[in-house]
Amino acid sequence: MLGLSISLATSREKSRLKAIEQRTGTSIERLAPLAAGEASEPPEVLARDAPMDTIRISGGRKDKVRPGDIVGALTGEAVGLNAADVGKIEIHDRLSYVAIAKNVSRAAVKGLNSGRIKAKRFRASIVERGQR
């Protein structure tokens, strides 16, 4: 599964970045620091290139929703996604968030809205950037 991670670090934290690179076996791309007042690419540009969308579901921990329930609903008959299309799942008290491959996210929302999770109906929608 691919993802995007952005870390902010000061020059004093270079040794920590090197330790992370050694431990993971992956190099970390470093961008040049910005001068005070200098504009950078807005986060929306980065988000547009992300391979996944985030779906918000109107059920959470207090509704007895578990990650396995959500995966089951997404990969079951109602939606029919592959497990590889489902990413990280976060369960909060009354909401849940699921990372879904962009190419199937709209179908996932439609299937979740017409189907059930644990025999209950929940609303699902794609989270617009900066809305969470």
39-57 confidence digits (pLDDT tens): 555 555 555 667 899 999 9
pTM above 0.75, yes or no: no
107 pLDDT band, cuts 50/70/90, is very high
Is the Cβ–Cβ distance between 115 and 75 less than 8 Å? no
Look at residue 19 and tell me whether its pLDDT is greater than 80: yes
| pLDDT of the residue at 108 | 94
Contact, 59 vs 69, CB < 8 A?
no
Q: Which pLDDT band, with edges at 50, 70 and 90, does 31 fall under? A: confident
DSSP codes joined into one string, 35-61 = PTT-----HHHHHHT-SEEEEEES--G
Tell whether 63 and 97 lie within a shared domain: yes
At position 65, the amino acid (one-letter code) is: V
Q: Are residues 27 and 53 in the same domain?
A: no
Would the pLDDT of 34 be above 80? no
Residue numbers of the domain that contains 33: 11-37
Of 131, 75, 132, 84, the residue nearest 108 (C-alpha): 75
Residue 102 pLDDT > 80: yes
Residue 111 lies in a domain: yes
Q: How far apart are CA 33 and CA 113, in angstroms?
A: 44
Phi-psi map region of 69: left, alpha, beta (phi>0 left; psi -120 to 50 alpha):
alpha
99 lies in a domain?
yes
Tell me how many domains the chain contains: 2
